[in-house]
Structure 1
């Protein structure tokens, strides 16, 4: 089934699930699934903003329910309040909103994340580039 048809078929149930969970403030679909960058091994990345942090068991329960609703086990659930700032920023900047409950609380979180990202995220990207460069220097060009 083509990805756009798959999403059209499955997302209403996912939206209904989020709507029935009062703790969910925002849900985003991000990553390569459903985009031209999608490939055979693309998982489904869903970022969720909850009203507060949850336990690992609660996170696993949400992930399991999403797997059932989507008919796939390759769901990557990202809890935005608990995610690293660069991951939260990427989800917010590139994701498609699939559910939103409270625009004012969401806007506050987006502003907070953007401020953190501007303070730290750009430096993290620089550190990642330096790390990648050092790996290429050490192991690149067949130097094993």
Structure 2
């Protein structure tokens, strides 16, 4: 509390800016760091279903999820100390062109790309083998 009597104002109080000003929402959103791209629940369910199947077959053992500013990446590993076998990526900038989802191999080749994640994940389906 100040020791000034009520009704008297300090000289620098009048020059203070008001904290109740109106802020343009567009400018405010641009000033903030953009949120990273993430997988939605249904997308993650489809990816984890494939992951669980491949773990059951003994082909995959570990995974990592990265949420970056421009894309989300689900990386699959045979062993945790190696490079990822596959990368399942979601890149919203490519949604109107080639499709937001893609599966890339270790060497960087795009194995499949498209607009529907479930169709892209079919690259991991194996053809049924005829038993003799």
TM-score tier, shorter chain, comes to under 0.3
Structure 1 or 2: more helix by fraction: 1
Larger radius of gyration: 2
TM-score, normalised with respect to structure 2: 0.27
Q: Kindly indicate whether structure 1 or structure 2 has the higher relative contact order, using CA contacts under 8 Å at least 6 residues apart.
A: 1
TM-score, normalised with respect to structure 1: 0.26
